[in-house]
Amino acid sequence: MSKKIEKITILPGINKYGKKENFEKIDIKKGETIAIIGHTGAGKSQLLYDIERLAQKDTKSRRKILVNDKIPDREIRFNPKRKLIASLAQSMNFLTDVSVRDFLQLHLESRGKKSRQGLLEEVIEEANKITGEAISPEMNLLNLSGGQSRALMVSDVANISISPIILIDEIENAGIKKEEAIKILVEEGKIILIVTHDPSLALNTDKRIIVKDGGIVKILNTSLKEKGIAHYLNWIGNYSLDIREKIRRGEEIKNIEIYCEPIKFKNNT
Amino acid sequence: MKFIIFAGTPGSGKTSIIKYIIQELKDDFKLFFAKFDCLRTSDDERIAKEYKIPAVKKLAGELCPDHYTALEIPKILKENQDKDIIILETAGLCLRCSPYIKEGLGINVLDITSGDPSRYGPILTGADIVAVSKGDLISQAEREIFRAKILKVNPTVKIVETNGLTGEGAIDIAEYIKLSPEIMSKKLTLKHSMPSALCGYCYGNKIVDEKEEQQRALAGKELKNLVPNLNCGKCGFKSCNEFIRAVLDGNTKKEQCPFIK
């Protein structure tokens, strides 16, 4: 089983009016983070879906996805035990009436993996880094808040559904520390694709793919300046999350401190 | 000819995904769609209008809808010898009956929010394909757990994640349909026997009482031996069984059947 992915390639399909997409190919290399940008209904989730199922001109968009320049075999496309892709969808509702610990154990088994001492505790610990409200192993899954559910799933994707490609659909609706979440997911040279409307997330990537009317219309490389702007925006977001936690704890908010350490670039000119 | 049966609980999204599958197949194959239901449906008309394919509705009325489906299958086949693919949607009530045909393809549309799949009987264990619906409502982790649970009760089933709103998965199911065998032999076999329906309640008994039930069962069986069991409709009822119930309820006379002298 070859799980070594050097790159994936998107070959053009058609937009919703049947017009061919205007690019030759898009290469996404190991370690890159890509934002998928566009209005509601523009085709962002379709693009994620094409990548998730490694489309071979067999989806609405007629796009083709190559892995390491080759057509991937059927087995890696559909068998979850061999799947290359983990995805975090918009909805994070749970339905199974079990404890957090048992749920993680079940998921581990369904992926055909063996647990090791302390793994489940590590998953929960990592989740707690990105949510303000701590999760404990004995909590019932059905009682988790939206933020806790998201945090748990981020950590699950990073530690249980370990996959070289990660797709994230609109993580910003969550009430979790976004930058921390992305940090947990991005490590070890994975390919990350994020559908997002959030400016700090969108600008903190390597490339942005812009979609409109069901087709890819533009590909932008993120500039250093944009990464700097992302850093400021993220600081504001986390600051606001801190205040939110204080309010929830019943504290009074007396003043606001706007001071953000500027990002330092090595070759800043 | 290929023969495809879709089964699944009401509201699981059978019709939605069938529409996308018909969309995929209609240009290359001659299709026929039969919708079974209990009391009323207009899905057949909607599909006929939208996709310009012949369609029919079959209402079970007083009969067990899955038994009724099995009773009607030979007629549907006889009337559609010129078609390439027959798509049959069951009323979707019974987890136990679900008349899948061995020679054809059985597809269970399974709502992911409907709980532990191990509770289901032949509707899931007898299926060739499970179309898991509404997966977009839950996380990938839970979807994977659900998948593992399905494979525990039906280890050889093909699982396709579908979305009735966007049509996700329809292409995969259409592919499986294209690869499915033609029904060669004239005689079709059910994958599993259906539960017996021989008690007084089957003959329309409404009083919850041992004696009443037994009397009705005896009277019903007696009539069952007299009628021709051809479901010819000459008595004014859709089937012999419905006629028997009407006689026992006092709504008609047994002489209405031209075969009873």
The span from the CA of B98 to the CA of A73, in Å, is: 34
User: From the CA of B167, how many Å to the nearest CA of chain A?
Assistant: 9
Residue of B nearest to A162 (CA): B141
Domain count for chain B: 2
Q: Which domain holds residue B230?
A: 200-256
| B58 & B131 share domain | yes
Q: What pLDDT is recorded for position B203?
A: 87
If asked whether residues B94 and B214 sit together in one domain, one would say: no
Q: So what's the pLDDT on residue A163?
A: 84
* Contact criterion met (CB < 8 Å) for B148 and A110: yes
- Within-domain flag for B51: yes
Answer yes or no: do B73 and B127 share one domain: yes
- Look at residue B60 and tell me if it is in a domain: yes
Same domain assignment for residues B123 and B222: no
Q: What is the mean pLDDT of residues A158-184?
A: 78
Out of A80, A106, A153, the one facing B139 most closely (by C-beta) is A153
Residue B151 sits in the same domain as residue B231: no
pLDDT band, very low/low/confident/very high, at A269 (cuts 50, 70, 90): very low
Cβ distance A111 to B168 less than 8 Å, yes or no, reads no
pLDDT of residue A172: 61
Q: Lowest-pLDDT range, A58-67, A133-142, A186-195, B36-45? A: A186-195
Same structural domain for residues B171 and B204?
no
Contact B242, B63 (CB under 8 A): yes
- Please give the average per-residue pLDDT across A107-130, as a whole number: 87
- Asked if B171 reaches chain A (Cβ–Cβ under 8 Å), the answer is yes
The partner residue sitting opposite B138, judged by closest CB among A58, A94, A111, is A94
Q: Is this prediction's ipTM beyond 0.90?
A: no
Instruction: For residue B145, give the nearest of A58, A92, A96 by CB distance.
Output: A96
- Same domain for B13 and B137, yes or no, is yes
Q: Which of A45-49, A78-82, B130-134 is predicted most confidently?
A: B130-134
Q: Indicate if B169 and B232 belong to the same structural domain.
A: no
Same domain, B82 and B205: no
Which residue from B131, B130, B121 is spatially nearest to B99, judged by alpha carbons? B121
Contacts B148 to A, Cβ<8 Å = 106, 109-110
User: In sequence order, what are the residues at sequence separation of 6 or more whose Cβ sits closer than 8 angstroms to the Cβ of residue B233?
Assistant: none
B135 inside domain: yes
> At B241, which CATH number?
1.10.15
Same-domain check for residues B90 and B209: no
**Considering only CA atoms, which of B88, B79, B32 is closest in space to residue B58?**
B88
Per-domain residue ranges of chain A: 85-162
CATH number at residue B66: 3.40.50.300
Check whether residue B141 and residue B213 sit in a common domain. Answer: no
**Is B139 in contact with A91 (Cβ distance < 8 A)?**
yes
Cβ of A58 within 8 Å of Cβ of B147? The answer is: no
For A83, other C-beta atoms within 10 Å of its C-beta total 22
Residues in chain A whose Cβ is within 8 Å of chain B:
49, 58-60, 80, 86-96, 103, 106-107, 109-111, 149, 153, 156-157, 160-161
Chains A, B: CB contacts within 8 A come to: 58
Question: What would the pLDDT profile of B157-204 be if each residue is shown by its tens digit?
Answer: 999 989 888 788 898 899 999 999 999 767 889 988 887 777 888 888
Q: Which residue of A has its CA nearest to B136?
A: A91
What is the helix, strand, coil percentage profile of chain A, to 5? 35, 20, 45
Edge-first strand listing for the sheet containing B85-89:
B55-59, B31-37, B85-89, B2-7, B105-111, B129-133, B158-161
Q: Residue B140 is nearest to which of A58, A89, A93, comparing CB atoms?
A: A89
Picking from B122, B146, B179, the residue at the C-terminal end of a domain is B179
